[in-house]
């Protein structure tokens, strides 16, 4: 039994049953070993979730990127979102961890390098990377959680007199065109471009 086998089993549970079903006990049951065997390899559930989050990031390739740094950032963020979407509750899993493992660090390094190449200062590159990651995680979590039309959820809470501004843009707020919303947000963040620091 290797750590990678435990992570693979946990990923299978994630994809089949969702994040709430993942535990050291369910992994032990799936691979046919005792709980202490799983614990020996991953120590805690928190550590297992970190390793799973890094496993998701394997799918965010940093190879064959565009030469243009702005397009490089866009490509990396689209790959990041695709990696999150490839797994049930993928965004919720990754958002719940703070991972300093190879795949995660490779992706972050590539994003920061591209931002530096765009002309960002060091602080701006670091904080823009965080902003992009938070945005991608947030919109992807919403996308993965939608099980009822957004317009019906929104309409339940809106009062036409009290929330006139929201009502005037309700069709846009409730859009489930997540690709278009993602591209819009990505463009907005990258156009802000606070250079120099």
pLDDT 10s digits, 38-71:
999 999 999 999 999 999 999 999 999 999 999 9
Tell me the C-alpha distance between 99 and 17, whole Å: 23
Question: Is residue 99 left, alpha or beta, with left meaning phi > 0 and alpha meaning psi from -120 to 50?
Answer: beta
pLDDT band at residue 82, thresholds of 50, 70 and 90?
very high
Cβ pair 73, 135 in contact under 8 A: no
Q: How far apart are CA 122 and CA 115, in angstroms?
A: 9
Mean pLDDT in residue range 91-115: 96
For 59-192, CATH number out of 1.10.1520.10, 1.10.357.10, 3.10.28.10, 3.40.630.30 equals 1.10.357.10
Q: Between 1.10.3470, 3.30.565, 3.30.70, 1.10.10, what CATH number should domain 3-43 receive?
A: 1.10.10
C-alpha R_g of the chain: 20
Residue 109's pLDDT band (cuts 50, 70, 90):
very high
| Cα four-point dihedral sign 101, 106, 108, 113 | positive
Share of the chain above pLDDT 70, in %: 91
In contact, 136 and 77? CB cutoff 8 Å: yes
Span 154-182, mean pLDDT? 78
């Amino acid at each position: 039994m290797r750590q990678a086998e435990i992570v693979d089993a946990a990923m299978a549970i994630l994809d089949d049953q969702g994040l709430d079903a993942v535990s050291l006990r369910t992994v032990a049951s799936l691979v046919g070993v005792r709980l202490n065997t799983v614990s020996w390899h991953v120590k805690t559930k928190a550590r297992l979730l970190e390793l799973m989050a890094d496993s998701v990031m394997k799918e965010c390739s940093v190879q064959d990127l565009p030469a243009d740094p702005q397009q490089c950032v866009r490509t990396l963020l689209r790959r990041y979102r695709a990696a999150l979407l490839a797994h049930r509750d993928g965004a919720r899993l990754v958002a719940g961890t703070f991972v300093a493992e190879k795949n995660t660090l490779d992706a972050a390094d590539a994003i920061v390098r591209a931002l530096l190449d765009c002309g960002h200062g060091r602080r701006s590159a670091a904080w823009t990377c965080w902003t992009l990651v938070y945005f991608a995680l947030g919109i992807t979590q919403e996308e993965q959680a939608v099980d009822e039309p957004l317009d019906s959820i929104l309409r339940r809470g809106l009062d036409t007199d009290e929330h006139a501004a929201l009502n005037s843009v309700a069709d846009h707020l409730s859009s489930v065109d997540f690709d278009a919303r993602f591209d819009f947000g990505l463009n907005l963040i990258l156009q802000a471009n606070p250079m120099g620091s």
